[in-house]
Structure 1
């Protein structure tokens, strides 16, 4: 019995410290956002005297965070929609349809996961510039879909491989076409994986800075994370306003983590099941 208690403490103490190290930056940022500039200069680590929402209102209205938020919302929503659509179609084809070169295509998608974006960013920028897609929403959406589609295909293929082939054969016997099998059978059965992968893709697109900074050079079309990054230079002497911008960017993703953490964990482990 003492040995079990000791083993629990050995596991609990490091995990508690890790949780504290994860939570503290968010708590510190929220505390700074509630302070006036004078209070922050006098003592940056002391608790705020009251809930002062003026900095958050200023960041949302005057600084332009509302526009950046809307830009991110539009781009991320459309990007995730196409990622799930193309990823589920490709996952169904690579896992359940028998055609020449399917394994090679899957290996190609798997190999694309190991290519850093920094390797392809210069050719991508030149192609997008020649196509007139720089500083446009379609250009950024296309870049997100191209960057995160291999990951989506990999997870959806791994999930669809766990579905017995007999279900697909039975659907064909009932008269369904290939598209009918995908729409009536595979899409409903793949809902848990689509939800998990969709959450992960949302996190990837929302938190991205490099691709958005490359594709959207103008201030008007900046996404939220790029806008927060630009605040650091514009408001270097007004840290509470900068902290308010960081808080605005972090809250949506924090809500996703809090309420959908099980789906996120399922998405991370979706590719580990053996089909």
Structure 2
């Protein structure tokens, strides 16, 4: 037993080295961004990787006003909230139907949804843009909400189907015997029981929608979102790196706070999709 305990201790110590390096590779970019955001442009040029000796918040105020981050932040909040709400509504209904109901071609439909996860976004950008033009949804927030819903819905349906498949089917049968309709079963039974998966999907979709640049750049070409607006801080020939770092820090701060606060729910929710119902 003593030899076994020693081996386990050495294995844990050996595994801690690459894990520490991985954690450092994730933490250092955040430190580098915040550290340089507190420098002046001259201070950055003289010492790019040194710790700031006279921190200043001037770059944060300049980034907020120069790149119109306040207006872009409102766009991001509106679009993200609308897309997440629509994704949760549609995916919970679809997951309930695919997991609990029996109808023709149910499995074939689920396979098609899974197959759509393998299609890269870049492959469908041209037909996607032409469709948005034909529907007159370019430069509209509702157009970006629909676009996010279309691109992120397959994963949400898969996760909700996997979660609902773990629940006993007798719940639906008992509710039907009591005279409840399918809509009442979904609202009063399945939706409350699916709160853990829905919370996880809400967090993940918030991360995806907030950090997206490609789809937002195609749809909102005038009223941009905050991540696209950060590009306005880059110069044509030279870039004020501390100013750019300040804008990146302001744009990423809300989403980092959400991730830190809900990190346990994110890990638990990802594990839901790995369980076979």
Which TM-score bucket, shorter chain as reference?
Answer: over 0.9
Matched, 1:134 2:147: no
2:96 is aligned to 92
Equivalent residues in 2 for 1:224-263 (5 A)?
Answer: 224-233=226-235, 236-263=238-265
Query: TM-score by structure 1 length?
Result: 0.96
- Tell me, in whole angstroms, the C-alpha distance in 1 between the residues paired with 2:177 and 2:55: 65
Shift of 1:18: 0.5
TM-score (norm 2): 0.95
Name the CA distance, whole Å, in 1 between partners of 2:154 and 2:76.
22
What is the CA distance between 1:63 and its match in structure 2?
Answer: 2.1
Does the 8 Å contact 1:200/1:267 carry over to 2?
no
Q: What are the Cα deviations for residues 58-99 of structure 1, in whole angstroms up to 9, with x where unaligned?
A: 111232111111111110000000000000000001110111
Q: Which runs of 5+ in 1 are unaligned?
A: none
Task: Report the equivalent of 1:104.
Answer: 108
**Other structure's SS at 1:263 match:** helix
Aligned-partner Cα distance in 1 for 2:44–2:28: 17
4+ long deviations beyond 4 Å? none
Q: Which residue of 1 aligns with 2:207?
A: 203
Paired residues, number: 273
Deviation at 1:225, TM superposition (A): 1.3
In the alignment, what sits opposite 1:42?
Answer: 46
> What is aligned with 2:274?
272
Q: Distance in 2 between matches of 1:235 and 1:31?
A: 24
* Distance (whole Å) between structure 2 residues aligned to residue 77 and residue 113 of structure 1: 23
Residue among 8, 15, 18 paired with 1:11: 15
In 2, the alpha carbon distance for the partners of 1:130 and 1:265 equals: 40
Post-superposition Cα deviations, 1:205-254, rounded to whole Å, max 9, x if no partner, equal 11111111111222xx1111111234234694311110001101211121
Contact 2:233/2:239 (<8 A) preserved:
no
Q: CA RMSD in A?
A: 1.3
Q: Which residues of structure 2 form unaligned runs of 5+? A: none
Match 1:214 to one of 212, 218, 221? 218
